[in-house]
Structure 1
């Protein structure tokens, strides 16, 4: 059996509904190696053992390289940058959300090494780029012709709600405790804030990044491809 290049491969037979007690994913491909599809995107180890990864059904049994190559054909032209973030779980959360929204890249400014556990393996599928200083990020964005938009609840910032986000841009988020640096503020086209209605001064940095990314999705992205 040969699957067309633009069609996802699915095992024969009906899908079993997933419930709280069921295993995630799919088991080995029915029928053994002789029944495996002739598709170079598929991973023989996953076909033999099953695919329990946290991926959409479209990518069941695909190699990591094949998933990345397919995502590269339809990534969105917005980038996400985090400046000197101290909490690895927050960085991982941003990477995971960026993958969910098919961001072009996540830029980590500051330390190169961070614990990627919070990314829940999505860092394998999401392009990451490191910059030692925010000035390096700003220089890269300028060379790429991408406007930088800071997100921080600073005096003089403008509401994210209703702001016409450029289709190609960099969304830059400052450190959790102190926010955007002076250099980041100076290099940003605008600084945006997220409307809040409760008593707290700020929200979690990873949550703020997710809100801003979804604001971009709401303005520029159509419905996602079906599985």
Structure 2
């Protein structure tokens, strides 16, 4: 690598090994080079997921996947960073995991055949379904108080939300733009929306968050 350390993570544990079921003996012996924060070094994957589950936020993220959108992996990675409760893939079950950088192992990802199935699942849990759409009639996210229990639905890169998605959404919001381009990248829009929820609802004090 031209910049930064040659390797990520940490090497084998030095000294007496820590005790506890959360630790992975192989990682302690060989080192932990995974894409995880220091809090989770040497932990088993199951222990990490259990700890995340105890702290997950109340927002969900959903992505329509009719054209195998390459943005889905990046959105999953961002959802993991902001600790989304679940990520929902609507449409094709297969999606490009490369951009997720294995964060999908720590994030609950659920598949739905269509948006009607997604809406039914969410509404049964009292979760509001909001789509991102920069067309007239959408509320500006900059002045919108997002519900605590909400699912943020994003369409395909290019065509945006499908007509069927518009029908099942409880509302839509837009992100302010000032340049000449018609729209911003879907994964960028998703990151903005998730961070808006974090700013409005997440506990930013103490050990609840950390800086990457």
Report Cα offsets for 1:37-60 as digits up to 9, x if no partner. 111101111001000111111000
**Which residue is equivalent to 1:49?**
30
Greater Rg over alpha carbons, structure: 1
Listed as ranges, the matches of 1:9-88 within 5 Å are 20-31=4-15, 35-84=16-65, 86-88=67-69
Q: Select the residue among 124, 128, 134 that pairs with 1:147.
A: 128
* 2:141 counterpart of 1:160: yes
Q: Distance in 2 between matches of 1:114 and 1:197?
A: 32
SS at match of 1:83: strand
Q: Does structure 2 retain, via aligned residues, the 8 Å contact 1:89–1:119?
A: no
SS at match of 1:89: coil
1:225 deviates by 3.7
TM score, norm. by length of structure 2: 0.93
Q: Distance in 2 between matches of 1:221 and 1:201?
A: 31
How many residue pairs get aligned? The number is 206
Shift >6 Å, 4+ stretches:
none
Q: Distance in 2 between matches of 1:181 and 1:121?
A: 28
**Could you say what the CA RMSD is over the residues aligned between the two structures, in angstroms?**
1.5
Q: Does structure 1 retain, via aligned residues, the 8 Å contact 2:9–2:33?
A: yes
SS at match of 2:77: helix
**Which residue is equivalent to 1:208?**
189
Q: Distance in 1 between matches of 2:96 and 2:131?
A: 25
**Which residue is equivalent to 1:6?**
none
Unmatched 5+ stretches in structure 1: 1-18
Distance 1:112 1:200, change over 3 A: same
1:226 deviates by 5.1
TM score, norm. by length of structure 1: 0.87
Q: Distance in 2 between matches of 1:81 and 1:88?
A: 13
Q: Distance in 2 between matches of 1:174 and 1:112?
A: 15
